[in-house]
Amino acid sequence: ASRRRGVVVDDLARARLPPSPRALPVIGHLHHLAGALPHRAMRDLARRHGPLMLLRLGALPVVVASSADAAREVMKTRDLHFATRSMTQTLRHAFLEGAEGIIFAPYGDAWRQVRRICTLELLSARRVQSFRNVREEEAGRLLRGVASAATLAKVVNLSEMVAAYAADSAVRAIIGNRLKDRDAFLALLERSVKLFARMSLPDLYPSSRLAMFLSRMPGRMKRQREELVGFMDAIVRDHEENKVTGDANKEDLLDVLLRIQREGDLQDVLGTGSETAATTLQWIMAELMRNPRVMQKAQDEVRHVLAGQHKVTEDDLGKLQYIHLVIKEALRFHPPAPLLFPRECRSTCQVLGFDVPKGTMVLVNAWAISRDPEYWDMPEEFLPAWFDNSTIDFKGTDFEYTPFGAGRRMCPGMAFALVNVELVLALVLKR
Ligand code: HEM
Would you give per-residue pLDDT tens digits along the chain (431 residues)?
Answer: 334 444 554 556 678 999 999 999 999 999 999 888 999 999 999 999 999 999 999 999 999 999 999 999 999 999 999 999 988 877 777 776 666 778 888 999 989 988 888 888 778 888 888 888 888 999 999 999 988 888 887 788 888 899 889 888 888 877 777 777 888 888 888 888 777 777 778 888 888 888 888 888 878 888 888 888 888 888 888 777 776 655 555 666 777 777 665 566 667 777 777 788 899 999 999 999 999 999 999 999 999 999 888 777 888 889 999 999 999 999 999 999 999 999 999 999 999 999 999 999 999 999 999 999 999 999 999 999 999 989 999 999 999 999 999 999 999 999 989 998 999 999 999 98
Ligand 1 pocket test: which of 394, 401, 404 has the largest number of ligand atoms within 8 Å of its C-beta? 404
User: For ligand 1, atom 28, which residue shows the shortest CA distance?
Assistant: 413
- Ligand 1: list residues with CB < 6 Å: 75, 102-103, 115, 118, 123, 268-269, 272-273, 276-277, 280, 336-337, 340-341, 403-407, 409-413, 416-417
Contact 67, 369 (CB under 8 A): yes
* DSSP state for residue 397 in the 8-state scheme: S
The number of angstroms, rounded, from the C-alpha of 347 to the middle of its chain's C-alpha atoms is 25
CA 415–ligand 1 middle distance (angstroms): 11
Q: What is the ipTM of this complex?
A: 0.99
* DSSP state for residue 177 in the 8-state scheme: S
Amino acid 410: pLDDT? 97
SS3 of residue 377 by DSSP: coil
Residue 411 annotated as part of some ligand binding site: yes
CA 410–ligand 1 middle distance (angstroms): 7
Ligand 1 atom at minimum distance from 417 CA:
27
CA 331–ligand 1 middle distance (angstroms): 13
CA 413–ligand 1 middle distance (angstroms): 6
Phi-psi region of 160 (alpha: psi -120 to 50; beta: other; left: phi over 0): alpha
User: For ligand 1, atom 43, which residue shows the shortest CA distance?
Assistant: 411
Ligand 1 pocket test: which of 411, 420, 421, 422 has the largest number of ligand atoms within 8 Å of its C-beta? 411
The number of angstroms, rounded, from the C-alpha of 279 to the middle of its chain's C-alpha atoms is 10
CA 419–ligand 1 middle distance (angstroms): 15
Beta strand ranges found along 66-158 (DSSP E): 84-85
Domain of residue 196, CATH code = 1.10.630.10
User: For ligand 1, atom 25, which residue shows the shortest CA distance?
Assistant: 413
Contact 276, 413 (CB under 8 A): yes
CA 246–ligand 1 middle distance (angstroms): 32
Provide φ and ψ at 383, rounded to 5°: -130, 80
- The count of structural domains within the chain is 1
User: For ligand 1, atom 18, which residue shows the shortest CA distance?
Assistant: 411
Q: Output the CA–CA distances (angstroms, integers) from residue 31 to 25, 26, 238, 363, in the order listed.
A: 11, 11, 48, 18
* Residues, the chain: 431
To the question of pTM greater than 0.80 for the whole model, the response is: yes
Amino acid 205: pLDDT? 83
CA angle 112-206-208, nearest 5°?
155
- Residue among 387, 380, 165 nearest 277 (CA): 165
User: For ligand 1, atom 31, which residue shows the shortest CA distance?
Assistant: 413
Q: Which domain holds residue 102?
A: 3-430
Q: To which H or E segment does residue 229 belong?
A: helix 217-241
Spatial neighbors of 231 by CB under 8 A, at least 6 apart, are 184, 185, 188
Q: Output the CA–CA distances (angstroms, integers) from residue 36 to 39, 139, 153, 198, 351, in the order listed.
A: 8, 36, 36, 13, 27
Ligand 1 atom at minimum distance from 340 CA:
10
Amino acid 2: pLDDT? 39
Amino acid 35: pLDDT? 86
Spatial neighbors of 184 by CB under 8 A, at least 6 apart, are 231
CA 271–ligand 1 middle distance (angstroms): 10
